[in-house]
Amino acid sequence: MTPGFQGRPRSGAPDLPPGQYLTPDFPVLSAGPTPRVPRDQWEFVISTETGTQHRWSWDEMMALPQETPTVDIHCVTRWSKLGTTWRGVSLDTLLDGVDSAADYALAHCYGGYTTNLPLDDLRDGQAWLVHTFDGADLPAEHGGPARLLVPHLYFWKSAKWARGINLTVEDTPGFWETAGYHDYGDPWREQRYQGD
């Protein structure tokens, strides 16, 4: 206990993951400058462990069935934001027809960022490739033109400026995971750093 510390009274605080606090704004956290990717040069590629590639241009991606998830998001730097609304394509839609026995996914991005997830965490309505936030085009600083949205994991797994996903048989730690952050990143189990 630290003598004198009271904390801020939190009456009616919602049920947040441990160690998180609510923020009304939308903080920006990333490791380098913001990449700017024009839509006509954007593409999204899923590559399987055998090297087969599935590609979508911007227009092709937009022609797929779109969903409008409203979800809570939790950043490892401790802010949480509730009830955020996005629009994009379910990863189930993108993975449909992709023939793979892989267990892992490594998301990679314009700008070079990577992050790893178990492939199962991208399935069953748990993940989207989103291009719209709060009814407007996703701004570049928040990962536009398109980013992953995997709200059940810490937000660094929701890779900004998404360019593709490599499906792999073995787990390959990504950018923050190599820099000491947890491999999986479950906010409810407070898996922030390696060893948590």
State which residue, 8 or 96, has the beta carbon closest to another protein: 8
Q: How far is the CB of 103 from another protein (least distance, A)?
A: 26
State which residue, 4 or 51, has the beta carbon closest to another protein: 4
Segment contacting another protein (CB under 8 A): 40-48, 118-126, 129-137, 175-183? 175-183
State which residue, 121 or 177, has the beta carbon closest to another protein: 177
State which residue, 127 or 163, has the beta carbon closest to another protein: 163
Candidates 130, 127, 129; CA nearest to 117 is 127
Residues 8-67 that bind another protein (CB under 8 A): 8, 10, 19, 21, 23, 25-35
> 50, 60, 101, 180: which one contacts another protein (CB under 8 A)?
180
Q: How far is CA 66 from the centre of its chain?
A: 17
State which residue, 128 or 181, has the beta carbon closest to another protein: 181
Residue 163 contacts residue 45 (beta carbons within 8 Å):
yes
Decide if residue 125 touches another protein (CB under 8 A): no
Q: How far is the CB of 106 from another protein (least distance, A)?
A: 18
Q: How far is the CB of 81 from another protein (least distance, A)?
A: 11
Contacting positions for another protein (CB under 8 A): 1-8, 10, 19, 21, 23, 25-35, 77-79, 111-112, 141, 175-176, 178-180, 193-196
